[in-house]
Amino acid sequence: MAAPEQLEVLLVSLGSTSGLRLADEQLCDALRAAGARVQLARAEPPRSMRTMALTDLAWARAARAAAQRALHERRAGDGRPAGVPAVIYSSTTAALLWPLPGAIRFDACAAANRPGRHGLWQRPLERRRLAASTLLLPWSEASLRECPAAAGRTSGASGAPLVVPVAVSPSGPAPSERDLAAITYAANPLKKGLDRVLGAWRQVRANSDPGELLVAGTDARELRRAGIEVPQADEGVRLLGSLPSEEYRALLRRARVFVCAPRREDYGIAQLEALADGCMLVTTPAPGPYVALGPAREADPRLVGEDLAAGLRAALLQPLPDYFERVARTLEPFGPVALAQVVRGELVPRLSGAS
């Protein structure tokens, strides 16, 4: 009997954020481990645009160009089997101007995170792409529910939507003592609610000296552009700017608390990474498929609520002794083993049927 033909996959990576790049690299690794042959087509970052609508257009064009280059290379011949591969577009933005239909993996839809003029052209085109896709691959059930065009779809070339989560795991061994009080990640500081975090931190410091708050992902110049007051030298806040992933995760392993107050959260990779690296998560609820809220609430409901200062005080001054045992149980569905099982057991067979 002839051996089954190896599944060929083209993953079109938008990669506009570190979270998207991580998700794409993980999926490539899981597909290869499951026996597929994967080509990663990365979009070239476009120049900065003035509006969200123009930014999405620039990224959509970059994703289309990356997909076209990869498909042209296949037609030119490089020793790979002939035929069209199974294509996965990473995000609905990457699929908006696709050169051919494929599967769409997404953390959020323009229908939810591009309201009003910000998504004037994206939303109607997104509905058509979701309807024409071969398979929908939301990061979470919440991602699917938030997108009416995706949630209402029950079939396609490869059947109903399949949740393919982003995996999180500890980045390394934890130190014997956590010597940093708190940390936050604030790239796009207004969306991440850094102004709220700084306000809560000032409230906590009014009655105690909790230590230092580290702010990764932004700097004073970006805060001024966002209209956020830059912390003074005596406020116990240190701006770190952009950091390599290894340095940032090393700081997570040293911090006791990760604090954030996002105005919208499409998934919560930074929060899940913080939990995986042993931080207590202090956060406010937020619109969007904020999946990190579930594990955080289950571990300690005192730390999740609108009163961010109260959550910070509880985490820093009255931490639960079994917090991390609770977190470990709730993070199992987000681990690498869970991702590998979904990819090998469900995704690869369904992509094989559609290609």
- Each residue of 139-179: pLDDT tens digit? 999 999 988 888 777 666 667 899 999 999 999 998 889 99
Give the amino acid at 290.
Answer: Y
From residue 100, how far is each of 18, 248, 285, 349 by CA, in Å? 26, 38, 38, 21
Q: Note the pLDDT of residue 2.
A: 38
**Rg of the chain in Å (alpha carbons):** 21
Quote the percentage of the chain above a pLDDT of 90. Answer: 81
Per-residue model confidence as pLDDT tens digits over 285-335: 999 999 999 999 999 999 999 999 999 999 999 999 999 999 988 898 899
For the cut 90, the answer to whether the pLDDT of residue 276 exceeds it is: yes
Dist CA 207 CA 119 (whole Å): 44
For the cut 50, the answer to whether the pLDDT of residue 249 exceeds it is: yes
pTM of the complete model beyond 0.75: yes
DSSP 211: -
| Two tokens, residue 13 | 């990576």
**Mean pLDDT score of the chain:** 92
Write down the H helix ranges in the chain.
18-33, 52-76, 92-95, 110-113, 122-132, 141-145, 148-151, 189-192, 194-205, 220-225, 245-254, 269-276, 293-299, 308-317, 323-330, 336-342, 348-354
H or E segment to which residue 135 belongs: strand 135-138
Dist CA 280 CA 288 (whole Å): 21
Residue 59 in contact with residue 42, Cβ under 8 Å?
no
Complete domains list, the chain, with CATH: 8-166+335-354 (3.40.50.2000), 180-333 (3.40.50.2000)
| Two tokens, residue 92 | 């609905």
